[in-house]
Structure 1
Amino acid sequence: MSSPGSTASLRSANQQRVVDVLRAGGTVSQADIARQTGLAPATVSNIVRELAGAGLVATEPGSGRRGTTVALARTAGLVAGIDFGHSHVAVALGDLTGQLLAEERRPIDSGHAYADGLAEAESILDSLLAAEGLARDKVRTLGMGLPAPMTDGVVRTSAILPGWVGVNAQDAAREALGAVVHTENDANLGALAEHRQGVARGHDTSVFVKVSSGVGAGIVLNDQLFHGAGGTAGEIGHLTLDENGPVCRCGSRGCLEAYTSTVALQAMMGLQLPGATVDDIVGAARDGNVSALRALEDAGLHLGWALASVVNLLNPALVVVGGDMARAGELLLESARIGLRRHALDAVASTPVVASELGERASLVGAVLLAAERTSLLTD
């Protein structure tokens, strides 16, 4: 390892600055790279030459003010993302800017053993690669999201995916897939995706709340994911709203999740619309079903109550709501804003609460972005 302040260390740091500009995607002129990095044009030219010689970037000669343009090359390799949900697994291939190239989503039993889940993910990955005519060794890094709190890669608890509890997901995936794997909570990946490519672009502080069979949040502070001391920051689904409320799957009473999750919504509508899916309930509400409208309004008000605590504490630029419940749109979000205004301080009561731009793909997009950002592109 190069010592701080050495010539080799400075060279690596300068390479990293150039690579960071290229990761933003698109084609950039060397002159623009110099402006964005603050490096001398000659330094940028030398770094681009080194990266091109290693097959990491592609260049196109130009003339005039723009000069030579540069972009990350396909020969630099690919990454992949895996997103496990309550009843699905999705896999995507992406390039090293984090752009998705191909993806597939399959249903999976929520009680599956972790090895079976990884085998299904591997099957999808191989199918995507075969369709592109690519070998597995073209995938340099994988990102994987799970709906569970993790510490050092180990799944702590998960009523959503009980077959993963106690498993070092990162090690298990690395062994099963034969590649470098980085794991992350799915809500954190949703936050990363919305921050980089979604509705939270341009904001350095935001909160992404995934409301599905469970409820969790990903937090971006100063353009970085915030994990907390043990990696479990963002578990807002277990904020207590009423200590005498319904029993939550975590064993406590009155948690946000017990009022706002898809499970809670379906239980609330069990008598009026037995066996209805979330989409059925949302459709009924849009058709004017009073019970469905009230159920979604109630879920939104409780969500807003919890979000008030979040915005009081963190003061984000905006709150992004994703997951299955986000498909209700304004039927959920308008009451969430009302709940937030009722319980938040005046200074933050108008914090925007908006729907995810990336929808159900947010965590998958985040998994690809995670893999791309964790892939080293520096030359020796």
Structure 2
Amino acid sequence: MTPARTATPRTARAINDRIALDLLVEHGPLTATQLRDATGLSRPSVADLVGRLQENGLVTVVGEAGSARRGPNARLYGLVAERAHVAALDVRLDSATAVVADLAGRTVARTALPFPPTAPEGDAAGADAATAEAVLRALDTALTRAAVGELHTVVVGAPGLVDPATGTLNRAGGGLPAWHAELVRGLPTRTGARVRVENEVNLAAIAELRQGAARDRDTFVLLWLGGGTGAALVLDGALRRGASGGAGEIGFLPVPGTGALPAHDDCAGGLHALTSAASVLALAADHGFAPQPTGDDTAAAAEVVRLACEAAGDPAGAAV
């Protein structure tokens, strides 16, 4: 019989350190006693983890907490937020935005990345390379302005499938431009950071789980309605991607009456054909709802849904 596998002391220490760091990020400076109460660890274990975090430059004494007991005031330990920085790239079909943050989650730089650049007519490869380079240069500029010397991690959020085994972006089915892959290939060399690619809807679900509407839930489904239609599944507190990364690709679900069947590389005929922003606007136009043109199909679709709810006397429209 295979012996039971248990956490090694090293693994247990790493888990405890991560829990303590999460508490300091969420609550701010804490005393050793407060850390002990919040984690359930013993006094020696808390002393050890505080010592480790101080040695690694992640935690420092930031003040003292008054106490009714006799003796010296308790030290307050706070996160050294500038110890490391991370970047998030929100990569769309025709735009991108970069945000740089410190360990406390505070934004220190933000930029809308300018592209696509002009490329020789017919030179698709040149255009893709130029676009990826423009994004990288804009990220460089944002880091320089924020006086950030290096990044620990870069997370790229993009539409489309991400292979859970390899972390590579699969362009099939999402109509993704080739410059997305060019950008992902160039990031490790340019930044020297760890690079992780994740589906944008999955990232939204993680954000809701950690800091949003699902903080008190460990199992939920997030529906993404906009230019595309998708979902993210969180079960027992863990994001479920599926074997090929497509667990939330509900836009490909066949729907009767669409006149077609979706394929692995085309969601026409699927749920996307009925619920995407463009489809909602087309349906609204057929019923006489015409929002003010804004150039943003997603915002316009939300507006026509609100108008339709108001016309029907449905109070749900106020939540749109």
Provide the TM-score with structure 1 as the length reference. 0.64
CA distance in 1, matches of 2:230, 2:128: 21
Question: Where in structure 2 are the equivalents of 1:1-380 lying within 5 Å?
Answer: 7-24=9-26, 26-62=28-64, 63-64=66-67, 67-106=74-113, 108-109=115-116, 115-135=129-149, 137=150, 139-151=151-163, 152-156=166-170, 157-163=172-178, 167=181, 171-242=185-256, 244-245=258-259, 250-251=265-266, 253-267=268-282, 279=294, 327-328=302-303, 331=306
Separation in structure 1 between the aligned mates of residue 49 and residue 308 of structure 2, nearest angstrom: 48
What residue is the counterpart of 2:315 in the other structure? Answer: none
Relative distance call for 1:252 and 1:326 in structure 2 (3 A) is closer
Shift of 1:109: 4.6
Alignment-mate amino acid for residue 50 of structure 2: V
In 2, the alpha carbon distance for the partners of 1:57 and 1:74 equals 9
CA distance in 1, matches of 2:233, 2:47: 37
Mapped contact 2:255–2:270 kept (Cα < 8 A): yes
Residues 134 and 256 of structure 1, relative CA distance in 2, 3 Å threshold: same
Residue identity opposite 1:149 in structure 2: L
**2:222·2:231 contact (CA, 8 Å) conserved in 1?**
yes
Cα distance in structure 2, aligned partners of 1:35 and 1:78? 29
Q: Secondary structure at the match of 1:28?
A: coil
Supply the distance in 2 between the matched residues of 1:104 and 1:244 (Cα, whole angstroms): 40
Structure holding more helix per residue: 1
How far is 1:60 from its partner? 2.5
Q: Displacement of 1:106 after TM fit?
A: 3.6
Say if 1:230 and 1:56 are closer, same or farther in 2 by CA, change over 3 A: same
> What is the Cα-based RMSD across aligned positions, in Å?
3.9
Structure 2 Cα separation of the partners of residues 329 and 128 of structure 1: 37
CA displacement at 1:330 relative to structure 2: 5.8
Which residue of 1 is the match for residue 316 of structure 2? none
3-state SS, counterpart of residue 38 of structure 2 = helix
C-alpha separation in 2, matches of 1:281 and 1:20: 37
For residue 107 of structure 1, report the CA deviation from its aligned partner. 5.6
Normalising by structure 2, report the TM-score: 0.75
Gaps of 5+ in 2: 118-123, 311-318
**Rg larger for:** 2
* Aligned counterparts of 2:203 and 2:239: Cα–Cα separation in 1: 9
Distance 1:68 1:176 in 2: 41
* Unpaired stretches in structure 1, ≥5 consecutive residues: 283-322, 336-353, 356-380
Q: 1 CA distance for matches of 2:178 and 2:300? A: 24
Q: Percent identity?
A: 26
What residue identity is the alignment partner of 1:142?
V
| Equivalent position amino acid for 2:239 in 1 | L
The one-letter code sitting in structure 2 at the alignment partner of 1:331 is: R
Residues 228, 325 of structure 1: alpha-carbon distance in 2 compared, 3 angstrom cutoff: farther
Q: CA deviation at 1:243?
A: 5.4
C-alpha distance in 1 between matches for 2:14 and 2:178: 42
Structure 1 Cα separation of the partners of residues 129 and 182 of structure 2: 12
Q: What is the identity, as a one-letter code, of the residue corresponding to 1:92?
A: V
What is the identity, as a one-letter code, of the residue corresponding to 1:328? E
**Larger displacement relative to structure 2 (230-239 or 171-180):** 171-180
Contact 1:211/1:325 (8 A) holds in 2:
no
| TM-aligned CA deviation for residue 108 of structure 1 | 4.1
Aligned AA for 1:141?
Answer: T
CA separation in 2, counterparts of 1:59 and 1:333?
Answer: 56
The alpha-carbon deviation at position 258 of structure 1 amounts to 1.0
CA 1:206–1:48 in structure 2 vs 1: closer, same or farther (change >3 Å)? same
1:369 paired residue number: none
